[in-house]
Amino acid sequence: MNPYELTISQARTALDNKELSSRELTSSCLERIRSVDDTVHSFISVTEKKALQQADAADKEIAQGTPAPLCGIPFSLKDLLCTRGVTTTCGSKILENFVPPYDATVVEKLKGQGAVIVGKVAMDEFAMGSTSENCAFTIPENPWKPGFVAGGSSGGSATSVAAMECLASLGSDTGGSIRQPASLCGVVGLKPTYGRVSRYGLVAFASSLDQIGPLTRDVTDSAMMMNGISGYDKRDSTSVKQDIPDFTKALSEGMKGVRVGIPSEYFGEGLNNEVATVVESAIQSLRDAGAEIVEVSLPHTEYCVAVYYLIASAEASSNLARYDGVVYGYRDQNAESLIDMYRETRSNGFGDEVKRRILIGTYALSSGYYDAYYKKASQVRTLILNDFRNAYESCDLIISPVTPTPAWKRGAHAGDPLAMYLSDVLTISANLAGIPGLSVPGGFSNDGLPIGIQLQGPHFQEEVLLKAAYNLELATELGNRCPDI
């Protein structure tokens, strides 16, 4: 087995037993990037020199004994997490040369544990998209089938893990941007409860929805990552003071006493038959493991897409107002007046999807329309949250598809942004409600494309999701399966 094929838990054992050094592990991942990234296009930037320096430092820590669980492990980072001294582009021309003077809290946490960062990976511009085709620099390919989308917006995170270019990655999830690419690329993706993981240093898209989380090859690694990145941060006003459990202790076999809810609204018209079959098989696996299966209802699901795209676009309009060419980022050099400079900088610096959402959001917040759109969407958001609260009175977690279909061909939604928006219908409700959601591999389509299973739970109940995902992983035996690239 090549070192890059190891999971985090396997690598931890090999590193601690001195069977492998972090430099050897990191060099293996860097060589893997050189070998396959011309095909999968995961990376915007590869930080080889810094990675090897971090690996050497990790080896010294390991030699002294009692290293942190993530010490010496190579990771990639979605390119909207600020990294001191390393370009952070958000997949946008407007931040093409932006080098932050500080690290995001999650990056600090990884570095503080001696982790190795091999580079920054591709994403939809400012995390706005479901395919990563909106990236200004490179577009990730689905490692399982060339010509098909990797998902988004954390597409590069998913492909870098699936293609074994690193052992794990950090992405962000505003409406499914961790879970959806994880599903389409056959890896594990976890969106934590809003407030569980600090957002300090995450370049904002929609501040009430954004959340950072891990993409890994198996469920054990996801739990290890959650141990490493969770916790209160006074620099993030939305961070919650909540005890951090050892998430790995949730990984036990058997589901006796756990109630699993099936929402009828998630299994209606438009659901691909192959996806439905995989999810039904997963439900049976949990039943066989001892879970009680119950029916639940989320009656306001039909409003989720409209509510999400109003709230997310309104917050994006506000957050992205700072990119005006004055303080940092791209500036148009040909403008003859300040107003022209603003207009040309934003027109040339932003891509079409970002401009579309800024326009939607600005309209929704404008005088005379605020009450009709943004305020009304916020009120319906509360109804969606109450749907989940009511459902969790009769179940401990909810199971569903992640996406209505497996991955689709690149360019299929290029002229139809509404079709792309509708592909998020099963994931955006977790962000609106602030609850945790997880995607775990469940099977494959007849075309060999991965299909994920979505698990959602009450606030700060990631442990029950990890337990269920662990049992599904045991049943499907899909953990750490690699595409042939």
3-state secondary structure of 195: coil
Separation CA 334–CA 29 (nearest Å):
43
Q: What structural domains does the chain harbor?
A: 3-252 (3.90.1300.10)
Dihedral angle, C-alpha 481, 482, 484, 485, nearest 10 °: 170
Q: Do the beta carbons of residue 127 and residue 205 sit within 8 Å?
A: yes
Q: Cis (ω within 30 of 0) for the bond into 153?
A: yes
3-state secondary structure of 127: helix
Q: Is 153 part of the annotated catalytic residue set?
A: yes
Q: Which amino acid is at 358?
A: I
Phi and psi angles of residue 174, each rounded to the nearest 5 degrees, phi first: -105, -30
Whole-structure pTM value: 0.97
**From the candidates 21, 45, 132, 153, which is the catalytic residue?**
153
**From the candidates 21, 28, 177, 445, which is the catalytic residue?**
177
Q: What is the pLDDT along the chain (485 residues), one digit of tens a residue?
A: 899 999 999 999 999 999 999 999 999 999 999 999 999 999 999 999 999 999 999 999 999 998 999 999 999 999 999 999 999 999 999 999 999 999 999 999 999 999 999 999 999 999 999 999 999 999 999 999 999 999 999 999 999 999 999 999 999 999 999 999 999 999 999 999 999 999 999 999 999 999 999 999 999 999 999 999 999 999 999 999 999 999 999 999 999 999 999 999 999 888 999 999 999 999 999 999 999 999 999 999 999 999 999 999 999 999 999 999 998 899 999 988 999 999 999 999 999 999 999 999 999 999 889 999 999 999 999 999 999 999 999 999 999 999 999 999 999 877 777 777 777 899 999 999 999 999 999 999 999 999 999 999 999 999 999 999 999 999 998 877 889 99
Q: What would the DSSP string read from start to end of 44-76?
A: EEE-HHHHHHHHHHHHHHHHTS---TTTT-EEE
- Sheet containing 437-444: give its strands across: 43-46, 116-121, 74-78, 168-172, 212-216, 188-191, 437-444, 450-456, 397-401, 259-263, 292-296
**From the candidates 21, 22, 28, 78, which is the catalytic residue?**
78
Tokens 């080889």 correspond to what residue?
48
Separation CA 197–CA 199 (nearest Å):
6
Q: Is 378 part of the annotated catalytic residue set?
A: no
Q: Do the beta carbons of residue 152 and residue 124 sit within 8 Å?
A: yes
Q: Is 78 part of the annotated catalytic residue set?
A: yes
Alpha helices per DSSP H over 320-408: 338-349, 352-365, 376-391
Here the tokens at position 293 are 């299966």
Q: Do the beta carbons of residue 69 and residue 12 sit within 8 Å?
A: yes
